[in-house]
Amino acid sequence: MQIRFLHDPSKDTGFVGSALTSNMIRFFKTKDGSWSHEVSISVKPLKVQNWILPEMPGLITDFLISLDDRFLYFVNWLHGDIRQYNIEDVNNPVLTGQVWVGGLIQKGSPVVAVGEDGQTWQTDVPEVQGKKLRGGPQMIQLSLDGKRLYVTNSLFSTWDKQFYPELVEKGAHMLQIDVDSEKGGLRVNPNFFVDFGAEPDGPSLAHEMRYPGGDCTSDIWI
């Protein structure tokens, strides 16, 4: 999993994601000059039915920090949501945006989540340009102005085959999430859909994204 420091070089703090436990861990330098850490954000596993296990982790597979260090974004590949947290107070992250763009518990899936009251539920996942969203959000990249978050949905081909076989058959896609970079908030852009299932040599599995001149996850941004 990735390690991200705050972009401000005067700040001795950063985050690391723990995929299987679905925790975001903050590490920081203490007053005595030593390093310490704490669980900053924790995504609880969902109780589910019709799956291989009785509980399903979110499975955080990628995260990033906006260039102004105000927001942290991460994805839950199995649950299917993208989250935005305000981290201006790094000791108290606040959830400010969340969208569902796939996952194993979306409506139409045989897998259902079970709430604390025993009621089952599934998520509403929109179609984009008439296309059903496949797989779950996996890699993300943020524009330098912090207003456009791009997401692809392939993790590893072997994992894709196990958890999202339709993704391998029909190919991956890339979405654009519009970001409210002032107050916080996320919205799926209905006009942006890159279909890697339509490649000339057959369906492709899209993974990493980069800006040519550097980006929020790079040390060579401009």
Give the DSSP letter string of 134-156: PS---EEEE-TTS-EEEEE----
Q: What is the DSSP letter of 107?
A: T
Total count of domains within the chain: 1
Q: Is 74 part of a structural domain of the chain?
A: yes
Domain residues for 72?
44-198
The model scores a pTM over 0.85: yes
Quick check: 47 and 29 in contact, CB under 8 A?
no
Q: What is the pLDDT of residue 202?
A: 74
Starting from the edge strand earliest in sequence, which strands make up the sheet with 35-42, in order? 3-5, 13-18, 23-29, 35-42
Q: Is 13 part of a structural domain of the chain?
A: no
Q: Is 62 part of a structural domain of the chain?
A: yes
Q: Is 113 part of a structural domain of the chain?
A: yes
Q: Is 146 part of a structural domain of the chain?
A: yes
State yes or no: pLDDT of 1 exceeds 80: no
Residues 1, 195: Cα–Cα separation, whole Å: 26
Residues 121, 104: Cα–Cα separation, whole Å: 12
Q: Is 133 part of a structural domain of the chain?
A: yes
Query: What backbone torsions phi and psi does residue 35 show, to the nearest 5 degrees?
Result: -105, 145
Q: What is the pLDDT of residue 222?
A: 45
State yes or no: pLDDT of 53 exceeds 60: yes
Average pLDDT over residues 97-126: 96
Q: Is 26 part of a structural domain of the chain?
A: no
Q: What is the pLDDT of residue 219?
A: 60
Distances (CA, A) of 216 to 7, 12, 57, 101, 191: 9, 18, 27, 22, 24
Q: What is the pLDDT of residue 78?
A: 97
Q: Is 211 part of a structural domain of the chain?
A: no
Structure-token pair, residue 44? 């609880």
State yes or no: pLDDT of 34 exceeds 60: yes
The string of pLDDT tens digits covering residues 145-181 is: 999 999 999 998 899 999 999 998 999 999 999 999 9
